[in-house]
Structure 1
């Protein structure tokens, strides 16, 4: 029996991946919400889905389905709204009798997780999150390799992620730290979760530089020392990548060897949905370390070019 889904944030960049995942898993999107009405992408997946631009009407519709006879209640509400609204929309999903599936970052602050856990318990529903790198075959393989090693082993890791954004970025909610959580939260949270997933508990968190468009620092885990660099500024894309017409550059080296995981990204949302539908989805507590990491980065006082800083800071 197909599960019934609703989706909040249908006009967002990531929403089509959720629509595709719902379609790929043979389920049905019955309702969608976004204050913006540029959502023609829905026709490619679920042309019969009801659509709302006002939350109040969407709320009423979800409640009507919940109360209707004949099994019309929504089973899952997928959340693709701006970061600062995730907490509220997950609460809405749980109180509507549905499980939530939330995009990254789950919340902006770790104490929001505690409140959601209480509502989960009261409502008897669950929050699931998209931690798609945890289902990437290359990441799983590396994690298994690390777990087989001697406990005292510490790897040297360099993480570089540059995803160029135009002038629109700083004018949107993504450029507002109060709404997005800042650059480390908005584009880096998946990578911090991946590092924790592979290398164990976080032991140290140092920020070397932080601005609206660039951040860099040092993280130490049980089994790794990590120098990281994130930016949305095109000027940091290496010339080798620019010459190929690339505006994004992603590199993770472990002990000087490149971790090849550039492929396999297309279907990670579908894979995540499959795990959620099988009862193996990642929940609130699975997110805690990554959310604590980005919250601490956001609130830290950068120490400048001291200690084990990323090589990109030496050349820029």
Structure 2
């Protein structure tokens, strides 16, 4: 049984980590969040100590080690994107491996710095790239590899997930903290695409607004038109008429890839791999971080192959 700490216990994604820790038969010894709406912990680890101040949380872990010989093995990080770097460093300083939600960090140079620190402390930084574990995505990758197609695939990625007024007020609405739409809601798609179709050869941005973004990515084996939005007005008319607030579509050469289900167990599968030493690390995350950094910083272009929603 390994000992875990969790930072960001009140966050949206934290319950998946709590469940993964419990389902892999491990123990949560401490959790931290500036917000105290963490009653969900009772369903998993009611005896775990909880803190709203980082200093007391950090001291508690130190005291457990020195006074009770309780050592921390992993720190799970579910905090806002801009804090991931700092909390990963804290985990490694405490002699623990890190398990961090995506985006692992916001900038490519942060990956290089963390690589140095990882080597210095002899610990491992893991990230959650759960789409790589989804059966439909694995099947697609296997199909692409087996086909060994000479021509590039044509891919359309559309992801619209409506968000209310709260989004702008939260850290997610602050691009300096979240990295913006492409980073916050798109990075797992970019990781998936690079994992399946190879290195990026071209990255063009046609649209970059506060609530939507679109562009064109060319990989070794695919041409991708992508569109991301949190604006409910972006939803196709037929989706709006059904009262739905989310629309997700990936087509490969005109064929729809169905992967709407099968997500509930993916964090547990991620933890199982990490505990066996097979987690996704810094280098696995690098391509998607490079992609979103370029999307944030590249100049807009008006020419080229555009996603139909942009037209």
The interval holding the TM-score normalised by the smaller chain is over 0.9
For 1:85, what is the secondary structure of its paired residue?
A: helix
Aligned to 1:118, which of 98, 116, 119?
Answer: 116
Q: Could you tell me which residue of structure 2 aligns to residue 67 of structure 1?
A: 66
For residues 25-62 of structure 1, what are the alpha-carbon distances to aligned partners after superposition, in whole Å with 9 as ceiling and x for unaligned? 11111100001111111111111110000000011111
Cα deviation for residue 263 of structure 1 reads 1.1
The within-5 A match list for 1:1-316 is 2-70=1-69, 72-150=70-148, 152-304=150-302, 306-314=303-311
SS at match of 2:281: coil
Deviation sequence 1:203-229 (CA, Å, 0-9, x none): 110000101100000000011000000
Q: Distance in 2 between matches of 1:58 and 1:189?
A: 30
- Count of residue correspondences: 311
Provide the secondary structure at the position in 2 that maps to 1:148.
helix
- Secondary structure of the 1:253 match is strand
Contact 1:193 1:287 in 2 (8 A): yes
Deviations 1:126-172 (A, max 9, x none): 00000000000111111111112335231000000011100010111
Counterparts of 1:250 and 1:110, CA distance in 2: 28
TM value normalised by structure 1: 0.96
Q: Is the 8 A contact 1:66 1:97 kept in 2?
A: no
Runs of 4+ residues deviating >4 angstroms? none
Q: Which runs of 5+ in 2 are unaligned?
A: none
CA contact (8 A) 1:157 1:226 kept: yes
**How far apart in 2 are the matches of 1:154 and 1:136?**
23
**Distance change in 2, residues 1:68/1:153 (3 Å):** farther
> How much is the aligned-residue C-alpha RMSD, in angstroms?
1.0
Shift of 1:68: 4.0
**How far is 1:245 from its partner?**
2.8
Deviation at 1:238, TM superposition (A): 1.7
Matches of 2:118 and 2:206, distance apart in 1: 37
Does structure 2 conserve the Cα–Cα contact (< 8 Å) formed by 1:66 and 1:96? no
Q: Which runs of 5+ in 1 are unaligned?
A: none
Give how far 1:78 is off.
0.2
Of 242-251 and 228-237, deviating more is 242-251
Shift of 1:69: 4.6
In structure 2, the residue corresponding to 1:51 is in which secondary structure?
strand
CA distance in 1, matches of 2:55, 2:210: 34
SS at match of 1:296: helix
Q: Tell me how far 1:103 sits from its aligned partner.
A: 0.3
Give the secondary structure class of the aligned counterpart of 2:11: coil
Local SS of the residue matching 1:207: strand
TM-superposition CA deviations, 1:276-316 (whole Å, max 9, x none): 11111000011111000000000111113x210000111xx
TM-score in terms of structure 2 length = 0.98
**Alpha-carbon deviations, 1:56-107, whole Å to 9, x = none?**
001111122233454x111100000000000000000001000000001000
